[in-house]
Amino acid sequence: MTKSSVLGYPRIGADREWKKALEAFWSGKLDEDTFHTRLQEIRLNHLRKLHDQGIDLIPVNDFSYYDHILDTAVMFGIVPKRFTYDSGAVPLSVYYGIARGTKDAAASEMTKWFNTNYHYIVPELNDVTPALTENKPLVAYREAKEKLGIEGKPVIVGPLTFLKLSKGYDKSETEAWLERLLPLYTQVLQELAEEGVQWVQIDEPVLVTQLSKDDLQLLQNIYKTFADAVPNLNILLQTYFESVENYSDIITLPVQGIGLDFVQGLSGNLQSIKTNGFPADKILGAGIIDGRGIWKASLQEKLSLLDVLIEQVAPERLIVQSSCSLLHVPVTTERESNLDPALKSSLAFADEKLKEIALLTKACTSRHADILNAIDKADQALLPLKQSQERNRIDVQQAVAALRLQEPSRSLPFAKRHIAQQEKWKLPLFPTTTIGSFPQSAEVRKTRQLWRKSELSNEQYTQFIQEQIDAWIQIQEEIGLDVLVHGEFERTDMVEFFGEKLAGFAFTQYGWVQSYGSRCVKPPIIFGDVAFVQTMTVEETKYAQSKTQRPVKGMLTGPITIMNWSFVRDDIPREHIAYQLAYALRQEVEALEQADIGMIQVDEPAVREGLPLKQNEQADYLAWAVKAFRISTCTVQETTQIHTHMCYCEFHDMIDSIEAMDADVISIETSRSHGELIHSFELNTYKLGIGLGVYDIHSPRIPSVEEMTTMIERALRVLDPKLFWINPDCGLKTRGREETIASLRNMVEATQIAREQHHAIKAV
């Protein structure tokens, strides 16, 4: 009989009660015992929900107090030596210290979980001696069984993935590290087997990336070790986010089941099964319900896919499940009362996906009329949105079809534009600017909230925003910045602000997902064809420019970042969505230029975030991402200066794409990796305007003039002084007023020193 499962469930709760408990504990409003009790209540409620929805294999140990990779690290005693820890179970003070830092020790690095918008804490191996501190999967299994009578499926991050995601060791030490970790993993599994656990899910998402022959040999050794140690324990080797590489090697591993992604990895995994078959002695975990997208599935299409799989795998050897953990989607659509009915009837958050999985599982066993009617009814609910005017804007579709055939470019190459822009702007050597936003005080946030609640009139709100602009234009002039910004006081979020002003977007009330730690975001939904409606930024930018003789940059979020930080429709290619966004933003860029704004910044911090996991797909993605940016910016005059901002990336492997964007000036968030980026410039020549962030805005400390002078000097060893800009490494929205002013004063002073030194060198 076919069974159902999910790979994990959202931690945060429908009301973000998890987030609220964490932050109450951190602020001292909850003592530790009460905190543990509160989180247990949340955890057990989740398990009850999964049970009540008819999920057969219910994951346990997917719940976390912060992050599942951090959980794995502390379970094995992998605690950086800068934190006070000796042995035994890791205290919460140390656990949260690793994640958030303490007054005496910096937090561990945080980075993206594969190509999702979730971020994990990077384990630091270094000179740590690992030891099993607590069998967390066993604790979670016992809790589910004792409290609720649920036979849980413990979830563990696999050894190869854990090592690949860790830092602090040389690649040549991989095998040695495995030798240290395998006995600990084995002990965990043996204790689970002794407890009577039936299935363990071991997550190895690294198997969808390119692996070496040595990696494959390590993989064989890992799972042979487990098979020898726990021969009677059922292991489900779970992959997700793409199709597996080396399918023929992976299906020979001595495990009882293999989980494959049939959403993001549909074509590759399905072709592998059709070509190579699937072992008759293994269970297939078929991830057919999208764990990352928010759209209801066409259940008839999914049932047809299951029928294809059943040709290779007997129904009793099949598990119908989500493609990955449901961590990446909101909890439920139930309370979304403000959405258009046609849109809401097409949405499936975590709870709705449970129902889809349960229904499809029943259909694998029986094609009873009631089941088939339920599937047909679910598919009928998708039609209103599909047929809606919002998804069938002929004007947008025709414009994008034309754009796809064009190669957008500026009227002159950069070298000639640079001369024209210098003649127009007459900027000094090493122009100074900021990335865009200035501190959003409690007063700013409160006033915006009052306006959104209609407790403040449009006129009152506009006056307040203009007062903020007035104040910060004056501050920027007093500090001595060369190119100013209006400060973005009217914006809540760099994506939401634009989504609210463009057609094709919708916003939920409770559609929160975890980004990292207690940080939750509510991504916009791109549900229809994106279209420009009216100007979005011209009013505030034009007002700011009227208050100063210095240039004020227009500030926009780029098409790829808006797309990557939203939930996007799944009925058309992402490339087409990017071009729709680019076409809409082009109209805003043109409106700014017509309003005499001659410097326009189109930020793309998330270009690299959307990079496909498969290397053979990356060049195509970068090509249309670059094209989207150029569509947005290519129609301006040669004297209009286009800026962009990007977060730090491995510059050397994207330099061609970044140059191809053809922005006149790019600023890069680099302060935490300044040396690495400087090294990239030693290996690569960059011929356009560039500003490297000279101080870290994520820290409240005020950097000294000397620190920034050193950073500037290092950069000027490898960059053309005539093309070099000086700026902070990101927006200043989250910083305080006084620290912002003090830091920028130091930045301008460091710039003046650099100018004097450069002139002195030239004079000699």
pLDDT per position as a tens digit, 231-287: 999 999 999 999 999 999 999 999 999 999 999 999 999 999 999 999 999 999 999
Q: Which residue out of 368, 576, 698, 758 is catalytically annotated? A: 698
Residue 61: per-residue pLDDT: 98
Asked if residue 242 belongs to a known ligand binding site, the reply is no
- Residue 730, amino acid: C
Closest CA to 482 of 530, 554, 542, 553: 553
Residue 620: per-residue pLDDT: 96
Residue 675: per-residue pLDDT: 59
**42: its two tokens:** 């949340």
Query: For residue 358, what is the enclosing H or E element?
Result: helix 350-365
What is the distance between the alpha carbons of residues 142 and 321, in angstroms, rounded to a whole number? Answer: 23
Asked if residue 649 belongs to a known ligand binding site, the reply is no
Is 68 one of the annotated active-site residues of the chain? no
Q: What is the CATH number of domain 427-489+648-764?
A: 3.20.20.210
- Residue 113, amino acid: W
347: helix, strand or coil: strand
- Residue 101, amino acid: G
What is the distance between the alpha carbons of residues 700 and 179, in angstroms, rounded to a whole number? Answer: 41
Please say whether the beta carbons of 83 and 104 come within 8 A: no
Angle of helix 369-380 versus helix 299-310 axis, rounded to 10: 130
Question: Tokens 């099964």, residue?
Answer: 273
Asked if residue 472 belongs to a known ligand binding site, the reply is no
Other CB atoms within 10 Å distance of the CB of residue 394: 9
Asked if residue 669 belongs to a known ligand binding site, the reply is yes
Asked if residue 600 belongs to a known ligand binding site, the reply is no
Asked if residue 16 belongs to a known ligand binding site, the reply is yes
Question: Residue 723, exposed/middle/buried by CB under 10 A (0-12, 13-18, 19+)?
Answer: middle
Q: What is the DSSP letter of 79?
A: -
What is the distance between the alpha carbons of residues 185 and 159, in angstroms, rounded to a whole number? Answer: 8
Asked if residue 32 belongs to a known ligand binding site, the reply is no
End-to-end CA, the chain = 85
User: CA separation (Å) from 643 to 401, 411, 650, 690?
Assistant: 27, 16, 20, 9
Asked if residue 364 belongs to a known ligand binding site, the reply is no
Please say whether the beta carbons of 51 and 43 come within 8 A: no
551: helix, strand or coil: coil
Asked if residue 730 belongs to a known ligand binding site, the reply is yes
Q: What is the 3-state secondary structure (H, E, C) of 27-64?
A: CCCCCHHHHHHHHHHHHHHHHHHHHHCCCCEEEECCCC
Residue 736: per-residue pLDDT: 87
Asked if residue 467 belongs to a known ligand binding site, the reply is no
**669: its two tokens:** 């968030």
β-pairing verdict for 665-669 and 641-647: parallel
Kindly report the pTM of this predicted structure: 0.93
Q: Within 13 Å and on the Cβ side, how many CA atoms surround 255?
A: 27
What is the distance between the alpha carbons of residues 307 and 695, in angstroms, rounded to a whole number? Answer: 57
**260: its two tokens:** 């494959």
What is the distance between the alpha carbons of residues 99 and 67, in angstroms, rounded to a whole number? Answer: 9
What is the distance between the alpha carbons of residues 288 and 266, in angstroms, rounded to a whole number? Answer: 8
Residue 761: per-residue pLDDT: 75
Which residues of the chain carry a pLDDT beneath 50?
A: none
Please say whether the beta carbons of 593 and 637 come within 8 A: yes
- Give the percent of the chain with pLDDT over 70: 98
Asked if residue 488 belongs to a known ligand binding site, the reply is yes
Residue 671: per-residue pLDDT: 57
User: CA separation (Å) from 364 to 176, 291, 367?
Assistant: 45, 20, 7
What is the distance between the alpha carbons of residues 741 and 530, in angstroms, rounded to a whole number? Answer: 38
Q: Which residues contact 357 (CB under 8 A, 6 or more apart)?
A: 4, 5, 6, 55, 289, 320, 321, 322
Residue 284's φ and ψ, nearest 5 degrees, are -105, 120
Question: Residue 1, exposed/middle/buried by CB under 10 A (0-12, 13-18, 19+)?
Answer: exposed
Asked if residue 17 belongs to a known ligand binding site, the reply is yes
**Can you give the C-alpha Rg of the chain in angstroms?**
27
Domain boundaries, the chain: 427-489+648-764
**51: its two tokens:** 């049970």
β-pairing verdict for 110-112 and 519-521: unpaired
What is the distance between the alpha carbons of residues 540 and 545, in angstroms, rounded to a whole number? Answer: 9
Asked if residue 195 belongs to a known ligand binding site, the reply is no
**375: its two tokens:** 């599937």
Strands (DSSP E) contained in 562-640 are 567-568, 599-603
Asked if residue 437 belongs to a known ligand binding site, the reply is yes
Residue 651: per-residue pLDDT: 64
